[in-house]
Amino acid sequence: MTAAASGETSARRGVWARLIGLARAAIRYWALAGGLVLVALVLMTAASAMSNLVFGRPFQFDYDLVKYGVAIAAFSFLPYCQLSYSNVTVEIFTERAGPRAKAAMTLLASMIAAGVALLLLRQMWLGMNDYIVYREVMQSLRIALWTAFPPALVSLALLLVAALITAGEAIRGLKTGVWSATSQPG
């Protein structure tokens, strides 16, 4: 390999490393935003309970807001769980496996996660479009139901990115023979 080709390869690796770093940061901040949604819901629920105790009246439609917000928040955690290898695993079957076998299983799991993300992205997109066309709204709050879909779509797109990142790390583990999901940057 010539010096120019080597420099070009290094430059491409640097660009990819920066893009992956940006994606990791976006995924972390997206999960934190989901956490803030949950904190807001907890505070609203507590205030509604206090209002019920003190004034005999909870906040109107608090139950509907909780359903709406929890759905958004739950989706926001999926990419971070994938990126940080925090999904449920059954390690009793893999504890004695070698690094390459663990990397291969992680690669398989990452590819399944990417496939599920793509499938859900498509279906959620179609579902959102149906809600837009038919103009369904939450009767209690008069909020258009399609408005819950964009955050879920962003979450699923980030899940796809996270699955591709973890697949890339697993491929590197297969090549090098060095693998530990817990030592991967999350």
> So what's the pLDDT on residue 182?
59
> So what's the pLDDT on residue 88?
73
Q: What is the mean pLDDT of residues 44-53?
A: 94
The pTM (predicted TM-score) of the whole model is 0.88
Q: What whole-number percentage of the chain has pLDDT above 90?
A: 65
In this structure, what are the phi and psi dihedrals at residue 137, rounded to the nearest 5 degrees?
A: -130, 155
> Alpha-carbon distance 51 to 163, whole Å?
44
Q: What is the mean pLDDT of residues 78-103?
A: 86
List pLDDT tens digits, range 3-39.
Answer: 555 666 777 788 989 999 999 999 999 999 999 999 9
> So what's the pLDDT on residue 121?
97
> So what's the pLDDT on residue 174?
92
Q: Please name which of 141, 82, 155 lies closest in space to residue 113, comparing C-alpha atoms.
A: 82
